[in-house]
C-alpha cells in the first residue's frame, strides 16, 4: 500500500465493462514512500484533487474494485484524515 496525493483526473468514455461507472484519478506517491511515481488509480473512496490517499496495488486493488476479473492495478482505498501526522516523527 502506498501514500499518495491526488493530482488530477482521467476521463475514459470507453473502458472495460468491469470498470463502467468507475472514476479514475492521477496520484503521485509522496517522497516518504521512496522514489516518487505517478499512477492512474480507480477511486473507490470519493477522493478529490489535493487529497492524501491510501493506494492499494495489484490483486488487492482488483479485490477492492469488486471484480477480480477487472484490469485494475491501483485503487484508492482510503482518504487520510490527518495528513500532517505523516510527517511528524
Q: What is the CATH number of the domain that holds 22?
A: 2.40.50.220
In a domain, 88, yes or no: no
Q: Is the pTM of this model over 0.95?
A: no
In a domain, 89, yes or no: no
Is the pLDDT confidence value at 45 over 70? yes
Q: What is the pLDDT of residue 27?
A: 97
What is the full DSSP assignment across the chain?
-EEEEEEEEE--SS--GGGTT-EEEEEEE-GGGSS--EEEEEESS---TT-EEEEEETHHHHHHTT-TTS--SEEEEEE-S-GGGGG--
Domain around 72: 2-81
Do 16 and 2 meet the contact criterion of CB atoms below 8 Å apart?
A: no
The total of structural domains in the chain comes to: 1
Q: What is the pLDDT of residue 88?
A: 45
In a domain, 16, yes or no: yes
Amino acid at each position: 500500500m502506498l501514500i499518495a496525493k491526488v493530482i488530477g483526473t482521467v476521463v475514459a468514455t470507453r473502458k472495460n465493462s468491469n470498470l463502467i461507472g468507475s472514476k479514475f484519478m492521477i496520484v503521485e506517491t509522496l517522497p516518504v514512500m521512496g522514489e516518487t511515481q505517478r499512477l492512474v488509480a480507480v477511486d473507490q473512496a470519493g477522493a478529490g484533487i489535493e487529497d492524501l490517499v491510501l493506494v492499494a496495488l495489484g490483486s488487492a486493488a482488483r479485490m477492492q474494485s469488486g471484480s477480480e476479473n477487472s484490469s485494475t492495478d491501483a485503487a484508492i482505498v482510503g482518504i487520510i484524515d490527518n495528513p500532517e501526522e505523516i510527517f511528524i516523527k
